[in-house]
Amino acid sequence: MGTEIGRVRGLGSAGHGAQHWWHHKLTAGSNFLLLVWLLTSIATLPSYDHATVRIWLQSAWVAVPMVLFIASVFYHFRLGLQVVIEDYAHKESRFVLTVLVTVFTFATAGTAIFSILKVAFGAAA
Amino acid sequence: MASKPARPRSPHLFSGPMQIHYRWSPAMTVSIVHRVTGTGMATVGTLLLVWWLAAIAAGPGAYGVFLDVFTTSTGSLNILGWVVGVGLTWSVFQHMMSGIRHLVLDTGAAFELKVNRRLAVLTFVASIALTVAFWLFLGIK
């Protein structure tokens, strides 16, 4: 039988209550702040040739917010794509698409963060 | 039992040859555009961002390949560069504006018909204005 709270805990949308929704809202806020920085920073660059962009990305003042940007935006779009998949795909295709989106998110995020750190740590091209 | 009484019409948007049971509203447009811009940025935008970052890390040769796809030999944007550039920046601004609208609606505000409609239209006005301002700034700086 258990207690009343014990019977309802873990139920709801996907067994996680409002966590998905709340994380989507939190990352929407951090995305907004990081995007205002990124758009301003890119728009004010003197030019967009390799040397200029590389020196720009090498600075800790750019590399750190850029890594945070990747983490925040990629987590946000992973949550969003999951909602889209759950709305339109069912049964096996829902499972397969969710796994593919998760793999896509980690693969692209890993490549992006590695690239930023490689430039920031000054490795030869 | 066999006769069908008059029932409320289906809440489905499409029935038969694309019949719309609800009158289309700006809120519906904002909703689907939020989803389309979000999905577009998450897929096409993500691949372009990762390609750009990886090209910077890989060196001038790889970065030159990236630039060649979107620019002419004189260094200005080609047609693809304009389409992708304006498309992505507008998507960012539109998704940002409708995202802010979502945060407002989450508080329980702006569900009155007139205010709701005005706020929905405002997201498009703001996103277009911000996109134009962004590219004008890039052009004249």
Q: Give tens-digit pLDDT for A24-57.
A: 999 999 999 999 999 999 999 999 999 999 999 9
Say if B135 is an interface residue toward chain A (CB within 8 Å): no
Confidence of residue B1 (pLDDT cuts 50, 70, 90): low
Distance from the A15 Cα atom to the nearest Cα atom in chain B, whole angstroms: 22
Say if B137 is an interface residue toward chain A (CB within 8 Å): yes
Locate the chain B residue with the closest alpha carbon to A107: B50
B15 three-state secondary structure: strand
Tokens 């004008």 sit at which residue? B136
Which member of A35, A80, A115 has the closest CB to residue B42?
A80
Q: How many residues does chain A have?
A: 125
- The reported pLDDT for the residue numbered B40 is 97
Measured distance CA(B128)–CA(B126) in Å, rounded = 6
Say if residue B2's pLDDT is above 90: no
For residue B45, what are the CA distances in angstroms to A2, A125, B26, B87? 49, 24, 26, 10
List Cβ neighbours of A52 (8 Å cut-off, separation of 6 or more).
A45, A46
Instruction: List the beta bridge partners of residue B19.
Output: B15
For residue A26, give both structure tokens. 């939190």
Contact criterion met (CB below 8 Å) for A35 and B96: yes
Q: What is the pLDDT of residues B7-58, one digit of tens each?
A: 665 556 666 666 666 677 899 999 999 999 999 999 999 999 999 999 999 9
For chain A, domain boundaries: 18-120
Distance from the B135 Cα atom to the nearest Cα atom in chain A, whole angstroms: 9
Burial of residue B11 (CB within 10 Å: 0-12, 13-18, 19+) is exposed
Say if residue A78's pLDDT is above 70: yes
Distance from the A95 Cα atom to the nearest Cα atom in chain B, whole angstroms: 18
Tokens 């390609």 sit at which residue? B51
The answer to whether the Cβ–Cβ distance between B39 and A81 falls below 8 Å is: yes
**CATH of A18-120 given 3.90.105.10, 1.20.1300.10, 1.10.287.70, 3.20.20.70:** 1.20.1300.10
Phi, psi of B123 (to 5 degrees): -65, -35
Tokens 């700034």 sit at which residue? B137
List Cβ neighbours of A36 (8 Å cut-off, separation of 6 or more).
none
Q: Please state which CATH number belongs to domain B26-140.
A: 1.20.1300.10
> Does the complex come out with an ipTM higher than 0.90?
no
What is the CB neighbour count within 10 angstroms for residue B17?
A: 5
